[in-house]
Structure 1
Amino acid sequence: MGDPENPPQPSGDLFARVVGGIADDRERRRRRRRIVALVAAVAMAVGAVAVTNKIRELNGEETMPWWTLEILTTAILIGLALWLGPLIKRFGRAYAADVFHDNPRTGKSYIVLTDIVYYLIFSAYILFTIRFEPADWWPTTDGAITADQLSDTLARVAGILFIIGILHAINIVLMPVLGRLFSLNRRLPPGSSTPD
């Protein structure tokens, strides 16, 4: 039962452990939601392919229509955006906190704004590259998937990864410069000029 004369003392870091436990629980829930969203996107893509295959079989076609790959590629790009965005944000928070340590609110605002830019770029890319009819340079095979379409599809996925990678690298290099400028701005008294 314990010694009645010497009761156990409360832990000094109890509050920190409770706050950490709550933060861990939130992160687990966020991770679960992301996984569910990714699984749902994959399930929708697989369902679209299955429905297309069934339609193809009912029509007596031997090949898969070109638009099946378009639907699948769009679902992959959406799933990639939903998976990659939170991943970049999770690791970017600590970097932004280090860079904007003099002004944490600016760092949080910067992360939110880069999130918005990220999803705008991804959405615009998907809308720019989606096709509603076969491309002229794809050989005509009665609307079936061709090697040229597969090549274009891989180029679409590689293109967004390349664009996001380049922009992310620019952001990594640019963020310390912005953090330094904002910290200098914060230290200067009103009305004074910047040092040479």
Structure 2
Amino acid sequence: MSNLEDRLSRALSDYPMEPSPDLFERVVESIEADRVRRRSVLTWSLVGLLVLMLVVTAVLTLTPRAENGALAMPWWVLEVATNLVLGAIALWLGPFIKRFGRAYAADVFHDNPLTGKSYIVLTDIVYYLIFSAYILFTVRVAPSDGWSSIKPIEDVTAGQVTFELMRIGGILLIIGVLHGLNIVLMPVLGRLFSLNRRLPDPAIAGRRRNDYPE
């Protein structure tokens, strides 16, 4: 046995590690929590798929047909469907980001846990404000002139489909960029908060200097 191995053996034998008395209970609780989470994800996925199928069925059923038998969907149907998709993305993406961002925020704000929790809440508010403002800015209450050269525009056109796809892609791009900036800036903010907490109060520091005159 080498000198390093001998020293490690002595160090470990001097400080025996005893297992935690509630280790088994915590492992069982963790496994059960994981099962509940997986079951919840599966349930909500099935519910979302069922709702999507019902919406598609309702749209296809209620959409009138042209003289040649093809579907002639009114323009407002696609507009309403796009707004519902944007709302669904907001409701799904927000908790998804928050779930995987808690550990990152806890690691960044380990010196200020309460600040980290407040930061997560504030970012949630900003997230939903951005989504709401984007939907209100881009919603259409009348057909756009650029969708088609045919007047009046009553049915869905290729121009409207392109516009609605750009709406969905635009909000995903905005949230992605802002989320990337948040990941980069969060460690900087955590470091600043930690330094601010460690710096002594000037008044207290002055009183301490007065207590020890030269």
Matched residues in 2 for 1:113 and 1:57: separation? Answer: 48
C-alpha displacement at 1:45, in angstroms? Answer: 3.6
Among residues 21, 35, 41, which one is paired with 1:31 in the alignment?
41
Q: What are the residue-to-residue correspondences of 1:155-194 with 2, within 5 Å? A: 155-191=166-202
**Distance of aligned partners of 1:96 and 1:35 in 2 relative to their CA distance in 1, 3 Å threshold:** same
Q: Is the 8 A contact 1:48 1:72 kept in 2?
A: no
Q: Deviations over 1:82-134 (max 9, x none)?
A: 12111111111111111111111111111111111111111111121111110
* 3-state secondary structure, aligned to 2:156: coil
Matched residues in 2 for 1:38 and 1:124: separation? Answer: 25
AA aligned to 1:52 is L
Q: Is the 8 A contact 2:147 2:157 kept in 1?
A: yes
Q: Is the 8 A contact 2:65 2:71 kept in 1?
A: yes
Matched residues in 2 for 1:176 and 1:95: separation? Answer: 9
* 3-state secondary structure, aligned to 1:126: helix
Q: Is the 8 A contact 1:100 1:179 kept in 2?
A: yes
Moved over 6 A (4+): 58-61
Is the aligned partner of 1:145 residue 2:156?
A: yes
In the alignment, which residue of structure 1 is the partner of 2:15? none
RMSD between superposed Cα atoms in Å: 2.9
Superposition TM-score, scaled by structure 1 size: 0.78
Unpaired runs of 5+ residues, structure 2, are 1-19, 204-214
State the aligned residue count: 182
AA aligned to 2:173 is F
Matched residues in 1 for 2:196 and 2:131: separation? Answer: 33
Unpaired runs of 5+ residues, structure 1, are 1-9
Matched residues in 1 for 2:36 and 2:195: separation? Answer: 35
In the alignment, which residue of structure 1 is the partner of 2:30? 20
Matched residues in 1 for 2:136 and 2:74: separation? Answer: 21
Matched residues in 1 for 2:121 and 2:42: separation? Answer: 21
C-alpha displacement at 1:12, in angstroms? Answer: 4.2
Matched residues in 2 for 1:90 and 1:62: separation? Answer: 41
Which deviates the most, 65-74 or 34-43? 34-43
Which deviates the most, 159-168 or 41-50? 41-50
Matched residues in 1 for 2:27 and 2:80: separation? Answer: 46
Which deviates the most, 155-164 or 36-45? 36-45
Matched residues in 2 for 1:30 and 1:115: separation? Answer: 22
Among residues 80, 101, 125, which one is paired with 2:134 in the alignment?
125
In the alignment, which residue of structure 1 is the partner of 2:52? 42
C-alpha displacement at 1:38, in angstroms? Answer: 3.6
Matched residues in 2 for 1:191 and 1:40: separation? Answer: 62
- Residue identity over aligned pairs, in percent, reads 55
Q: Is the 8 A contact 2:78 2:156 kept in 1?
A: yes
Matched residues in 1 for 2:147 and 2:168: separation? Answer: 18
AA aligned to 1:173 is V
